Structure 1
């Protein structure tokens, strides 16, 4: 109930006014049945504008830190993310990844739409970063199609260093579903999972027009919250074309 109250009453009108969003390729999202959505990740509001523009309900896997803060603010966050379809996952290790896979499977087994950000975190500079293989493993183990989605313009609403949101124009671009049935029975093979992940990231690169960087975005983050330059972590000093 709260998901649709947020979408159509409490948040939707303001989001539409602020971002003037449009969607392209909505017909690529099935009217029923389970599917995975793979999206680039530029800003927190990606998780608001995508559900706003897609008719069906979308579930997200969200980091567990959103659900564990103390105090009134923490309790409010937990209630908000839970009621809006976010599923908490622990990202600390291999056993945590297995828990995320299990949580995602439950959504898919129920015929739902599950969205993951294969980059694992927001892009620090607007470029598209190397994808993690968790989404590929889930696709291979469940046999569900992967729908690439490009979020365009969301980083301009609240760029770093600003407090108030800035009106802009946002586009949600949905690509054709990717079918990986040719790899049936190969889940757990890290080379296959990497190949599937790279195919997903290539589809996102074409949809978004972003420059691709063959480095995990998480590796750029310093302990103080600042970011290294991707070029510092690459052998040739230049991001991949």
Structure 2
């Protein structure tokens, strides 16, 4: 127990003296680069590389190791899809950014637009914001998603809607699957396991812990029946596939 306490203390000292200052600098630099890139009209591949490097740095500087399984299931960069993942922690964003090697745009809550500098950088990167308080929001989101997919980029979304509070996965909302159906693109289920132990919702200091990212085979919603029944059927299938790679506690 003493060794664990000492290990934790040394880790926190490292974070405050080295990890957090470096990450603050890298995050500010990343945001500035993304905002500048939007004005200069640089290719979308540049934005993907910048966010990938930033996310990998966030994981490395907090000493979190990621193991990737099922990499052979990743689609080619010319075959866009809707990537759906469980949402354990803020670290999920770093893991997906760093290790899903395809061009993408996030679908995120509109309130994240208000984050200083980060919100502006997300806007500049062409990420999609959805306002869950407005019924008409899904229509606008689908239109934005069509424009993203037309450029060859995929879409990342957390169907649970928000981070888990208990570590256990909750029921998926249907928005991601309505979107995939409307846009006629495959669903790519992805499991993130271990991120909850790194940074639980409501906490601010991470813990060192291994994160396992499992990429499952993509599927087309048309395989799950005829509309509109294929939407809940696809949501259940995606949730079952994601759950199959989670630890028993999750």
The alignment's TM-score, normalised by the length of structure 2, stands at: 0.73
Q: Partner residue of 2:99?
A: 53
Q: Partner residue of 1:138?
A: 179
1:149-207 deviation digits (Å, cap 9, x = unpaired): 00111112223564332221111100111222246872xx2x43222211211111112
Q: Secondary structure at the match of 1:141?
A: helix
Q: Which moved more, 1:174-183 or 1:33-42?
A: 174-183
Check if 1:147 corresponds to 2:188. yes
Q: Partner residue of 2:15?
A: none
Deviation at 1:109, TM superposition (A): 2.5
Cα distance in 2 for partners of 1:61, 1:155 equals 21
Cα distance in 2 for partners of 1:22, 1:197 equals 26
Cα distance in 2 for partners of 1:93, 1:177 equals 30
RMSD: 2.3
Q: Partner residue of 2:239?
A: 201
CA contact (8 A) 2:80 2:153 kept: yes
- Say if 1:174 and 1:127 are closer, same or farther in 2 by CA, change over 3 A: same
Q: Partner residue of 2:204?
A: 163
Q: Partner residue of 2:162?
A: 121
Deviation at 1:62, TM superposition (A): 0.8
Which blocks of at least 5 consecutive residues in structure 1 are unaligned? 213-241
Deviation at 1:77, TM superposition (A): 2.4
- Say if 1:91 and 1:210 are closer, same or farther in 2 by CA, change over 3 A: farther
Which blocks of at least 5 consecutive residues in structure 2 are unaligned? 1-45
Q: Secondary structure at the match of 1:19?
A: coil
Check if 1:178 corresponds to 2:219. yes
Cα distance in 2 for partners of 1:203, 1:98 equals 28
- Say if 1:150 and 1:84 are closer, same or farther in 2 by CA, change over 3 A: farther
Check if 1:92 corresponds to 2:136. no
1:28-82 deviation digits (Å, cap 9, x = unpaired): 1112211111100001121111110122232110111111x3xxxx441222323
The alignment's TM-score, normalised by the length of structure 1, stands at: 0.75
Q: Partner residue of 1:25?
A: 70
1:108-158 deviation digits (Å, cap 9, x = unpaired): 222211111111111111111111111111222222111110011111222
Check if 1:12 corresponds to 2:53. no
CA contact (8 A) 1:22 1:53 kept: no
Cα distance in 2 for partners of 1:154, 1:135 equals 22
Q: How many residues align?
A: 203
Between structures 1 and 2, the one with greater helix share: 2
- Say if 1:144 and 1:78 are closer, same or farther in 2 by CA, change over 3 A: same
